[in-house]
Structure 1
Amino acid sequence: MALRPRSLGLLSIYIISFLFGLPANLLALRAFVGRVHKPNPAPIHILLLSLTLADLLLLLLLPFKMVEAAYDFHWPLGDTLCALTGYGFYSGIYCSTWLLAGISIERYRSVAFPVQYKLSRRPVYGVIAALVSWIMSFGHCTIVIIVEYLPTNKTGDAEGLLVCYDKFTQEQLDVVLPVRLELCLVLFFIPMVVTIFCYWRFVRIMLSQPHVETRKRWRAVGLVVMTLFNFLVCFGPYNVSHVVGYFQKSSESWRACAVLLSALNACIDPLIFYFSSSAVRKAFDEKLQKLRSWGASLLGFCRRRAREPAAERGHGSLGRAHVSFTRD
């Protein structure tokens, strides 16, 4: 089956996201597990660990989305795997929004009310917030499984080829569209407003305190920029498609590109981890130093190999000259 340019482009970006996002999130996972295992971990590290797990869930399901893109958005893997892949994929996306909001609340409280924050910084609060985020996202996204197994489900296109979570009947649209609108409001718009408010206050406080180091101020700004990029660029178009689809009473054809942007969130989150946690910065810097050392060693090896033929040719000439001289 020949791929259309759109399918080929999306497949390429899925592969790049997987190759860059998976190792970065695994490195962050190792750092956060180490922090959480210490006595009395901060709630923010529990939230960051949960966000890493949500990203890894999404990344581990990306190969199935690659297969879908490789088949020009037809689904060759069966109805059951279609339902489970969609359920896990969309749950991972929406779990991230409330976790990002929880991280912003923790950051705001730590600078606005430092004394009260230190006194009330208990791990159980982070565990509760993470569980609520997971339950809300997985609970809402059961719509994927429900719609996939409705009696009126027609999973073929005009040519009879199998498609996944698309080509809905009118009965399915009557169920899907209102739920999608609720997803946009509850799992995107509200956490985005909370995040914008908390980080607006957070940055104002950080920039207004003269004793804060310039490096910490830049890290604060970088954290805010990456988080807002996540909401506006990664999550925004996908959720706008929910609103447009609700009022037009249809499932928009450009949703595939919007879903791709949501998947890019798993590559942006490691930057948020870098700006948020000294443990992740240390792990990333150590790995970068190892890569530099490996690159320098490889470059030196290549240079030595390049010089060897010339040296061998020189030795060969001397040998031949010596043989000729003795024969004479």
Structure 2
Amino acid sequence: MQHCDYYLCLTIYIVTFITGFPANILAFYTLSRKVWRKPAPIDILLLNLIISDLLFLIFLPFKMQEVANNMVWNIDYFLCPLSGFVFYMTIYNSTFFLTAVSVERYLGVAFPIQHSLRRRPIYAVFASIFIWVFSILHLSIVYIVPYYNPSGTVPPSRNVCYEGFTDAQLEILLPVRLELCIVLFCIPLLICSFCYINFIRILSKLPNIGRRRKLRAIGLALGTLLVFVLCFGPYNVSHVVGFITKSSPAWRDKALLLSTFNACLDPIIFYFTSAAVRNTLGAMVRSIWSRCWCPQILWSSKKEPPETEKNSLPKPQGLTNAL
């Protein structure tokens, strides 16, 4: 049985939940309004990525409870395969939706005219449905294997979740994990790398785009690739190691922590990718800033001549715009 470090794992899970849940709720509210008014393919893809992250965060407390009980599962066992299925399925959903966003951005730069003429929101809807169905079918193994007991003599363990497998279960699970690594991680990583490397190459040569905007787009592309590799790479490497050694590596749960942390890094991608998210967040900051400064402005305006009152009121707004 794996032993995830109590303080390390619980701290990362709690920080991910506290920071990721409100950030994804804000992004969901913003993009759902944007898609309802004027749907764009990239907004539809990002909205599905947000829904995937929110599902992940909703089931994250089950992992917290498991760590708090020293990796012992002491609640109803049917929640173990269910939470594991949703937990792992949403991880691989993220790889596919991040890849789909990279393809959308690459096509918009490499073939701007052709892509704008053929760009339809319905294509993004079909792509999203395909990703959800594809991930659900592949990750159904997480739900099935804990109940798989062909011998009928040795029941699967009920005090650990998604661990302590029999030899018969491992014969099915380990090859499937290797297939998940290849199909749901390596192939999307290659596509994402191709799209963003060429996206950066083409964008750096365009003369009609401002330097600041160009650097932000390039930084977003590099940041997405970095998140892709760091968050999902170690966990998928554990699949390969497990297939070779015929057992789950002891550091598998620690590698899973990086995949967990992705849920609070995705909102950063939403911020730089979607203008609607940036505008909503900016409006919230301005609203909070004005509430903090209004009493001070009103107090100072009572002490100043009427002529200076008009000049003093716009200052907080100017400061908020600078932020």
Common fold: TM-score over 0.5? yes
Query: What is the root-mean-square deviation of aligned Cα atoms in Å?
Result: 1.7
Aligned to 2:310: none
Determine which of 163, 174, 198 is the counterpart of 1:201. 198
Task: Quote the offset at 1:297 in angstroms.
Answer: 7.5
8 Å CA contact 1:154–1:168 kept in 2: the answer is yes
Aligned to 1:96: 94
Which residues in structure 2 correspond to 1:265-280 (within 5 Å)? Answer: 265-280=262-277
Give secondary structure in 2 for the equivalent of 1:210: coil
Aligned to 2:65: 67
Report the Cα distance in structure 1 between the residues aligned to 2:97 and 2:46, rounded to whole angstroms.
Answer: 8
Determine which of 148, 154, 162 is the counterpart of 1:165. 162
Q: Deviations over 1:50-97 (max 9, x none)?
A: 000001010111111110111111111222000110000101001111
Q: 1:48 to 1:77 in 2, by over 3 A?
A: same
Report the Cα distance in structure 2 between the residues aligned to 1:224 and 1:69, rounded to whole angstroms.
Answer: 34
Aligned to 1:53: 51
Aligned to 2:156: 154
Report the Cα distance in structure 1 between the residues aligned to 2:50 and 2:279, rounded to whole angstroms.
Answer: 17
Give secondary structure in 1 for the equivalent of 2:237: helix
Report the Cα distance in structure 2 between the residues aligned to 1:177 and 1:297, rounded to whole angstroms.
Answer: 61
One-letter identity of the residue aligned with 2:261: L
Give secondary structure in 2 for the equivalent of 1:13: helix
Aligned to 1:8: 7
8 Å CA contact 1:44–1:106 kept in 2: the answer is yes
Normalised to the residue count of structure 1, the TM-score between the two structures is 0.85
Normalised to the residue count of structure 2, the TM-score between the two structures is 0.86
Report the Cα distance in structure 2 between the residues aligned to 1:228 and 1:155, rounded to whole angstroms.
Answer: 38
Aligned to 2:208: 211
Report the Cα distance in structure 2 between the residues aligned to 1:6 and 1:258, rounded to whole angstroms.
Answer: 12
Determine which of 234, 237, 244 is the counterpart of 1:237. 234
Task: Quote the offset at 1:288 in angstroms.
Answer: 2.8
8 Å CA contact 2:4–2:71 kept in 1: the answer is no
8 Å CA contact 1:7–1:73 kept in 2: the answer is no
For structure 1, the residue ranges without an aligned partner over 5 or more in a row are 157-161, 301-328
Q: In percent, how many aligned pairs have the same letter?
A: 48
Kindly indicate whether residue 184 of structure 2 is the aligned counterpart of residue 184 of structure 1.
no
Aligned to 2:80: 82
Give secondary structure in 2 for the equivalent of 1:79: coil
One-letter identity of the residue aligned with 1:26: I
Report the Cα distance in structure 2 between the residues aligned to 1:167 and 1:155, rounded to whole angstroms.
Answer: 6
Q: 1:5 to 1:181 in 2, by over 3 A?
A: closer
Aligned to 1:26: 25
Give secondary structure in 2 for the equivalent of 1:76: coil
Aligned to 2:138: 140
For structure 2, the residue ranges without an aligned partner over 5 or more in a row are 297-323
Report the Cα distance in structure 1 between the residues aligned to 2:285 and 2:219, rounded to whole angstroms.
Answer: 19
Report the Cα distance in structure 2 between the residues aligned to 1:93 and 1:205, rounded to whole angstroms.
Answer: 30
Aligned to 1:121: 119
Q: Rg bigger for which structure?
A: 1
Q: Deviations over 1:128-158 (max 9, x none)?
A: 11111111111111111111111255325xx
One-letter identity of the residue aligned with 1:170: D
One-letter identity of the residue aligned with 1:270: P
Give secondary structure in 1 for the equivalent of 2:165: coil
Q: 1:295 to 1:190 in 2, by over 3 A?
A: farther
Give secondary structure in 1 for the equivalent of 2:37: coil
One-letter identity of the residue aligned with 1:12: T
Report the Cα distance in structure 1 between the residues aligned to 2:135 and 2:45, rounded to whole angstroms.
Answer: 15
Q: Deviations over 1:270-297 (max 9, x none)?
A: 1111111100111122223344445668
Report the Cα distance in structure 1 between the residues aligned to 2:168 and 2:282, rounded to whole angstroms.
Answer: 53
Task: Quote the offset at 1:260 in angstroms.
Answer: 1.4
Report the Cα distance in structure 1 between the residues aligned to 2:4 and 2:91, rounded to whole angstroms.
Answer: 26
Give secondary structure in 2 for the equivalent of 1:184: helix
8 Å CA contact 1:25–1:270 kept in 2: the answer is yes
Out of 193-202 and 221-230, give the one that drifted further.
221-230
Out of 258-267 and 190-199, give the one that drifted further.
258-267
Report the Cα distance in structure 1 between the residues aligned to 2:102 and 2:77, rounded to whole angstroms.
Answer: 38
Report the Cα distance in structure 2 between the residues aligned to 1:255 and 1:295, rounded to whole angstroms.
Answer: 46
One-letter identity of the residue aligned with 1:139: L
One-letter identity of the residue aligned with 1:20: T
One-letter identity of the residue aligned with 1:245: G
